[in-house]
Amino acid sequence: MMDKLGWSTKNHQVRSRKCQDHCDLRKSLEKKCDENMKSIAAVLIAMSLIVALHYAPGAVAMEERHHHHHGHHHHGHHHHGHHHHGHHHHGHHHHHGHHH
């Protein structure tokens, strides 16, 4: 019992020291990060734009084709139901606004 307890305490000390090192490392990284943040942000934005431009047209075309071919009828049906519900809600909202 004593052995186990001693081991767990020792282990905990090692873990917390590791954590402290990690925190220090993060602080110095954050300091560096502040200096480089603008350029890093610019690079990230540029990269995401390039990726978006590269993939978006294909994805949109694919989605469009899929949408038309598949579930067009379903979409129309769903829209009907939604419209009916929306109308009812709108009427309620109008009444509320008028009362206010």
Question: Residue 100 has what DSSP assignment?
Answer: -
Give the chain's mean pLDDT: 65
Helix (H/G/I), strand (E/B), else coil: 86: helix
pLDDT single digits (tens) 19-68: 677 677 777 777 765 667 788 889 999 998 888 887 766 656 666 665 55
Mean pLDDT, to the nearest integer, of 78-89?
54
> Would the pLDDT of 82 be above 70?
no
CA distance 31 to 25: 10
Which residue type, as a one-letter code, is found at position 54?
H
3-state secondary structure 45-85: HHHHHHHHHHHHHHHHHHHHHHHHHCCHHHHHHHHHHHHHH
pTM, rounded to two decimals = 0.24
> Would the pLDDT of 77 be above 70?
no
C-alpha torsion angle, residues 30, 32, 33, 34 (rounded to 10) = 90
pLDDT at 70: 54
